[in-house]
């Protein structure tokens, strides 16, 4: 049994682990990445952000082609060729994955292809029979699909996002369990390629982590496109037979039953930490398996860090990267570092209309008793969005009431994920609505819609 020693070890070669290792090496730490997955690259590249957004964009193009008559165009037929779509997705993802694999194998740090578990606070036993000792360890093992205690769910061959993202045919019908980001994005994708979709959500609104106003806009778009949507339900039973799947739930006080050829379990994800035997290292977790960390990403064992989906609080790639890099710098005792600033949290849902938020939002400000002003403006009253037939949604700006410093923004509408970045720099620089109004905004563009709530807040402040 061979034993290797390192200054810094990252368990998991995804966004958190890879970037932590990259920074650790640059700071002079002897570093290794341990990853036993069949394919290298991490969740985002292989089974998350990149394949899903590739498919979603293709579905957007299809949707526009199918509504060509709205724009005075004659396109006799537009339908999905899933074999071709699947091939294009595989080609694109292979290019991203190949780039990451080359970076992992470049030799700047050791890459150990094995699974790991803790023997003690500094020692890892590997699935290849060897052991690794490290002064500092970063856990970046991501997340896995959750299977909540819905009667019958664990006993049926449901799909996860992995299977949906790997489809090479158009399913006849699918029941989607869940109303979070993954559920909504892929439910709309399935509906647009020609699948009959029923979405069953337990909470009162889909996208429950966002405001009711924003989620209601997306919900209306789904229903308008033909998704059968039930929110505020209580799941009672899941069944499977040779004819397909049956789901029984309570909605508006009545028992409702639906059947479909396939079932997509999108009821959430749990941290992928159980195989690590964290108790042996003195690392505490939350009930969902997420590792409890402080502002430096340290766990309850101070030399062991965690970043990304396995620690939270936001399962977002750029947050995982920031957390991983911060952990490496803290382990290397870099002076003057600062924790991740979650007041700048940026979030995008790639439905159509898209939903995007940044900074501190109304619920958070209300809970802390922080005063604020808001103003919003609808897409269906804006020139560029009207000519694009992109009438769903609004842009909302949230600002401090005395000087107008921008606190946050919420956009639900066409290209919201792009438009929200109009606030990224200003928020980081603590800019005011007056600062943004001094900037030029070209007409006619989608981006200029943000000037209307900015002007309204400025007028409120000046009136005071």
Please report, for the domain that includes residue 447, its CATH number.
3.30.390.30
Q: Minimal CA–CA distance to 259: which of 321, 147, 175? A: 175
Whether 202 and 301 share a structural domain: no
Same domain? 173 vs 260: yes
Residues 195 and 289 in one domain: no
For residue 338, tell me if it sits in a domain. no
Q: What is the C-alpha separation between 118 and 278, in angstroms, rounded?
A: 6
**324: phi > 0 → left, psi -120 to 50 → alpha, else beta; which?**
alpha
Residues 89 and 20 both lie in one domain: yes
* Number of domain units in the chain: 3
Same domain flag for 278 and 371: no
CATH of the domain at 173: 3.50.50.60
**Are both 365 and 459 inside the same structural domain?**
yes
Tell me, yes or no, whether 277 and 291 share the same domain.
yes
Whether residues 62 and 201 fall in one domain = no
Q: Which domain holds residue 129?
A: 3-143+270-331
Does residue 252 sit within a domain?
yes
Report pLDDT for 464.
Answer: 79
* Same domain membership, residue 80 and residue 64: yes
In sequence order, the 6+-apart residues with CB closer than 8 A to the CB of 25 are 31, 108, 109
Same domain, 8 and 139: yes
d(CA 225, CA 264): 19
Residue-level pLDDT at 215: 96
Residue 246 lies in a domain: yes
Structure tokens at 433: 């609505």
What is the model's pLDDT at position 101? 87
Whether residue 336 is contained in a domain is answered as no
Q: What angle, 0 to 180 degrees and rounded to 10, lies between the N-to-C axes of helices 181-193 and 49-66?
A: 40
**Which whole-number Å values give the CA distances from 212 to 123, 153, 347, 399, 410, in the listed order?**
47, 28, 16, 20, 12
Q: Which residues are registered as beta bridge partners of 240?
A: 245
Continuous H helices in 349-398: 362-368, 383-387
d(CA 96, CA 116): 26
Q: Which of 280, 311, 331 is the last residue of a domain?
A: 331
How would you list the strands of the sheet with 233-241, edge to edge? 233-241, 244-251, 254-260
User: CA 142, CA 144: separation in Å to the nearest integer?
Assistant: 7
Identify the pLDDT of residue 97.
86
In a domain, 148, yes or no: no
d(CA 256, CA 201): 13
Query: Residue 459: inside a domain, yes or no?
Result: yes
Question: What pLDDT does residue 42 have?
Answer: 74
Q: Is residue 337 part of a domain?
A: no
Residues 242 and 285 in one domain: no
Name the domain boundary from 240, 267, 294: 267
Residues 377 and 426 in one domain: yes
Tens-binned pLDDT, residue by residue, of the chain (464 aa): 788 999 999 999 999 999 999 999 999 999 999 999 888 777 778 778 899 999 999 999 999 999 999 999 999 999 999 999 999 999 999 888 888 888 888 889 999 999 999 999 999 999 999 999 999 999 999 999 999 999 999 999 999 999 999 999 999 999 999 999 999 999 999 999 999 999 999 999 999 999 999 999 999 999 999 999 999 999 999 999 999 999 999 999 999 999 999 999 999 899 999 999 999 999 999 998 999 999 999 999 999 999 999 998 988 999 999 999 999 999 999 999 999 999 999 999 999 999 999 999 999 999 999 999 999 999 999 999 999 999 999 999 999 999 999 999 999 999 999 999 999 999 999 999 999 999 999 999 999 999 999 999 999 999 87
Let me know if residue 139 belongs to a domain. yes
Domain boundary among 309, 331, 353: 331
């Amino acid at each position: 049994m061979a034993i290797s020693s390192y200054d810094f070890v990252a368990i998991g070669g995804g966004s958190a682990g890879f970037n932590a290792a990259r920074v650790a090496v640059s700071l002079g730490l002897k570093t290794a990445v341990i990853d036993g997955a069949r394919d290298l690259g991490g969740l985002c590249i292989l089974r998350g952000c990149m394949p899903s957004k590739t498919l979603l964009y293709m579905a957007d193009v299809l949707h526009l082609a199918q509504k060509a008559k709205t724009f005075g165009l004659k396109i006799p037929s537009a339908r999905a060729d899933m074999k071709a779509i699947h091939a294009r997705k595989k080609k694109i993802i292979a290019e991203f994955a190949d780039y990451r694999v080359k970076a992992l194998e470049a030799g700047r740090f050791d890459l150990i292809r094995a699974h790991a578990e803790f023997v003690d606070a500094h020692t890892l036993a590997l699935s290849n029979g060897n052991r690794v000792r490290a002064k500092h360890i970063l856990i970046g093992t991501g997340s896995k699909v959750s299977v909540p205690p819905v009667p019958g769910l664990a006993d049926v061959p449901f799909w996860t996002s992995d299977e949906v993202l790997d489809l090479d045919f158009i399913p006849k019908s699918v029941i989607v369990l869940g109303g979070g980001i993954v559920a909504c994005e892929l439910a709309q994708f399935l509906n647009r390629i020609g699948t009959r979709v029923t979405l069953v959500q337990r909470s009162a609104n889909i996208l429950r982590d966002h405001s009711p106003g924003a989620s209601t806009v997306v919900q209306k778009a789904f229903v308008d496109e033909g998704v059968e949507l039930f929110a505020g339900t209580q799941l009672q039973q899941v069944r499977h037979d040779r004819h397909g799947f049956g789901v029984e739930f309570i909605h508006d006080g009545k028992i409702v039953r639906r059947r479909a050829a396939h079932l997509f379990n999108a009821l959430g994800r749990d941290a992928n930490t159980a195989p690590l035997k964290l108790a042996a290292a003195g690392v505490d977790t939350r009930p969902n398996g997420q590792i409890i960390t402080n502002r430096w990403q340290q766990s309850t064992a101070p030399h062991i860090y965690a970043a990304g989906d396995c620690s939270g609080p936001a399962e977002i790639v750029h947050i995982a990267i920031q957390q991983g890099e911060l952990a490496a710098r803290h382990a290397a005792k870099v002076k003057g570092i600062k924790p991740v600033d979650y007041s700048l949290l940026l979030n995008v849902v790639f439905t159509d209309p898209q939903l995007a938020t940044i900074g501190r939002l109304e619920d958070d400000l209300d809970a802390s008793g922080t005063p604020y002003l808001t103003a919003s403006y609808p897409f269906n009253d804006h020139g560029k969005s009207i000519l694009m037939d992109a009438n769903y949604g609004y842009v909302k700006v949230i600002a401090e009431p005395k000087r107008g410093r921008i606190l946050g923004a919420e956009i639900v509408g066409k290209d919201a994920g792009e438009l929200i970045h109009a606030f990224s720099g200003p928020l980081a620089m603590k800019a005011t609505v007056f600062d943004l109004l001094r900037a030029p905004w070209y007409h006619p563009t989608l981006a200029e819609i943000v000037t209307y709530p900015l002007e309204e807040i400025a007028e409120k402040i000046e009136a005071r």
